[in-house]
Amino acid sequence: MGATLAASGEWLRRHARVVAALQWAIVIAYAFFVIVPAFLPLPADDAHWFNNLALFSQWLFWGVWWPFVILSMFVVGRAWCGLFCPEGMLTEAASRHGLGRAVPRWLKWGGWPFVAFALTTVFGQLVSVYQYPGATLLVLGGSTLAAIGVGLVYGRGKRVWCRHLCPVNGVFAVLSRVAPVHFAVDTTAWKANVASIPAHPVNCAPLVRIRRMTGPSECHMCGRCSGLHGAIALAARSPNREVVTLDANSAQRWDAVLIVFGMIGLALGAFEWSALGAFVTLRSAAVEFVVEHGPAWVLADNAPWWILTNYPETRDVFTWLDGALIFGWIVGTAVVVGGWVSLWLFVSARGLRDSQATLLANAYALSCTLIPLAGAGLFVGLSALPAGLAHGEGFRLAWLPAIRAALLALSAGWGLYLVFRRISSGGQIAQRSRVMVPMALAIGGVLAAWWPFVFRGL
Ligand code: SF4
């Protein structure tokens, strides 16, 4: 197994041209499926995914690509980023021919992964990115243009965009913390060989400090550094190891914010607003209130489609009030669910007897135990679109709620196991329960919030 993995890493390094050819092929396919459907008429009511390019692209991007890229992080880390992602390829290529400027400080701000994810998630819902090819072109194409622009200005053959600004960089970095494979660095071999084994030239495009790499969070799994100084090889590891052994003092605040408020809270709000009757009830009450008290302009539906969904031909038009309610629902869910989880994270952190770290640092570290639940939530939420399309094709998916519930329950159990492992050497049962019980309450609250989405009718 170990030898096979190491050989796979070496294969990637030796066949960089094959990988590059594959990436360019993906760039071409991506450009076709993002651009062309946006200039076709909207699908007719009786169109199917197999006879309509717009529906096929919708299925491809949001039904297959996005959920399974999320899933792939749990299996092969960020291999998507390094081996397949068209934006990564384009930004790196642009950076080879650009100005080559140094990365400025503002670009290195640790909050970008959360901010970029939050803005894209909310904006995507306001323009109905999963439903309309124009919105898909706006969001994905806009992101790709920005990636090329950043490449043209910063770095020399690097992926500065991927490292600092990509809206899903943070999500991928967090999820890959539980990946079962990584490019392992043998520091002893490095020291011993650095003088005797000459280095092959390595361009680590996402700017990883290779020798100090301890996990796959920042690594794009491109394989270019495989075999460097006889000290780096693709290897298996326990998917629990990184979270269980994470030093609380090196846990990142923005990772915690992204996990708790972004991947759990914000994502829940984004998936649930269109799926729950409660939103319809809220909207009716708000419309009634505005009709009675004004201002009337918030009921106008004159916003352009690139600000708020506006497709009169499909009778899908958002008023300004709709936009405000959707925004409020998503942000409100993030605050309520994220607040609930944060509360119990701090209570749990208080129960830890790690005098080497502060309460905050321990809470940040504990938030990493929620990674499986956060990732499973994203996958479950994203399953709504393919499920809806399959339903439209006449498939009855009676088993889907059970599968979704099982996935969330398994990931919740995995999270609790990670908490248990983090504290397994720390004291008596009473002491451990001071950590476990609040974490169980945090996780239970998230599961309860998912309940109406999981068990709603299709
Ligand atoms: S550390 Fe850099 S060069 Fe090495 S596999 Fe990861 S992304 Fe590629």
pLDDT band at 161 (very low <50, low <70, confident <90, very high): very high
* Under 8 Å between Cβ of 121 and 266: yes
Specify the residue with its C-alpha closest to ligand 1, atom 6. Answer: 219
Split at pLDDT 50, 70, 90, the class of 326 is very high
CA 203 to ligand 1 centroid distance, Å: 8
pLDDT surpassing 90 at residue 324: yes
**Closest ligand 1 atom to 12 CA:** 5
What pLDDT was estimated at residue 319? 96
The pLDDT of 165-190, averaged and rounded, is 95
Provide mean pLDDT across the span 206-222. 93
Given ligand 1 and candidates 13, 89, 217, 224, which is best to mutate, with the most ligand atoms within 8 Å of its CB? 224
Helix (H) or strand (E) holding 236: strand 232-236
**pLDDT band at residue 169 under the 50/70/90 scheme:** very high
pLDDT at residue 288 in the model: 95
What's the start-to-end Cα distance of the chain, in Å?
Answer: 42
pLDDT at 282: 95
Burial of 2 (0-12, 13-18, 19+ CB in 10 A): exposed
Identify the residue whose C-alpha is closest to ligand 1 atom 3: 204
* 26-35, 191-200, 336-345, range with the lowest pLDDT: 191-200
At residue 457, does pLDDT exceed 60? no
Strand pairing of 310-311 and 316-317?
antiparallel
What CA dihedral angle connects 66, 71, 77 and 80, to 10 degrees? -30
CA 14 to ligand 1 centroid distance, Å: 14
pLDDT, position 424: 74
What separation in Å is there between the alpha carbon of 304 and the centre of ligand 1?
Answer: 43
Max Cα distance, the chain (Å): 81
- State mean pLDDT over 429-436: 84
Mean pLDDT of 149-169: 96
> Per the structure block, which two tokens stand in for 367?
């938030």
How far lies 429's CA from each of 73, 352, 370, in Å? 34, 12, 22
What spacing in Å lies between the alpha carbon of 104 and ligand 1's midpoint? 22
Give backbone dihedrals phi and psi of 159, rounded to 5 degrees, phi first.
-115, 65
Q: Is the pLDDT of residue 395 over 80?
A: no
Percentage of the chain exceeding pLDDT 90? 76
* Angstrom distance (rounded) from CA 372 to CA 119: 23
Predicted confidence at residue 425, as pLDDT, reads 65
Burial class (CB in 10 A: 0-12, 13-18, 19+), 277: exposed
SS3 154: strand
pLDDT at 357: 83
CB 356 within 8 A of CB 303: no
User: Residue 427: what pLDDT?
Assistant: 63
Residue closest by Cα to atom 8 of ligand 1: 222
Nearest Cα to Cα of residue 172 among 50, 310, 269, 80 = 80
pLDDT digits (tens, 9 = 90+) for 329-377: 999 999 999 999 999 999 999 988 656 788 999 999 999 999 999 999 9
User: Which of 91, 57, 48, 85 shows the shortest CA–CA distance to 69?
Assistant: 85
Average pLDDT of the segment spanning 47-72? 89
**In 10 A of CB 45, how many CB atoms?**
6
**Probe residue for ligand 1, chosen from 12, 186, 221, 228 as the CB with the greatest number of ligand atoms within 8 Å:** 221
Q: How far is the CA of 221 from the centre of ligand 1 (A)?
A: 5
Q: What pLDDT is attached to residue 226?
A: 94
Q: What number does the ligand 1 atom closest to the CA of 220 have?
A: 7
Task: Please give all residues whose beta carbon lies within 6 A of any atom in ligand 1, as ranges.
Answer: 82, 183, 202, 204, 206, 208, 210, 213, 219-225
Atom number of ligand 1 nearest to Cα 183: 5
- Nearest CA among 285, 378, 269, 277 for reference residue 328: 269
- Beta carbons within 8 Å of 147's beta carbon, 6+ residues apart: 87, 88, 90, 91, 94, 161, 162, 165, 166
Candidate of 8, 85, 204 to mutate for ligand 1, largest count of ligand atoms within 8 Å of Cβ: 204
Pocket test for ligand 1, best of 219, 221, 228, 234 (most atoms within 8 A of CB): 219
Residue 452 predicted with pLDDT over 60: yes
Q: What is the pTM of this model?
A: 0.94
Residues 6+ apart with CB under 8 A from 362: 248, 349, 352, 354
Confidence check: pLDDT of 85 > 80: yes
Residue 200 pLDDT more than 80? no
Task: Report pLDDT for 298.
Answer: 95
- As a whole number, mean pLDDT of residues 44-72 equals 89
Q: In a mutational test of the pocket of ligand 1, which residue from 210, 213, 229 has the highest number of ligand atoms less than 8 Å from its CB? A: 210
pLDDT of residue 456: 74
Contact indicator for 19, 83 with CB cutoff of 8 Å? yes
CA distance 110 to 92: 21
Q: Where are the alpha helices (DSSP H) in 77-213?
A: 79, 86-96, 112-126, 133-136, 142-153, 160, 169-175, 187-193
| Helix locations, 232-383, DSSP H | 241-245, 253-257, 267-272, 277-293, 320-351, 359-367, 371-382
pLDDT of residue 426: 58
Determine the Cα–Cα distance for residues 201 and 192; give it in Å rounded to an integer.
Answer: 19
How far is residue 433 from each of residues 157, 369, 416, 417, measured CA to CA in Å? Answer: 50, 16, 12, 13
Contacts of 113 (CB under 8 A, 6+ apart): 169, 170, 171, 173, 254, 258
What mean pLDDT is predicted for residues 293-300? 92
Q: Give the closest residue (by CA) to ligand 1 atom 2.
A: 204
pLDDT band of 46, cuts 50, 70, 90: confident
Residue 204 and residue 221: Cα distance in Å, rounded? 10
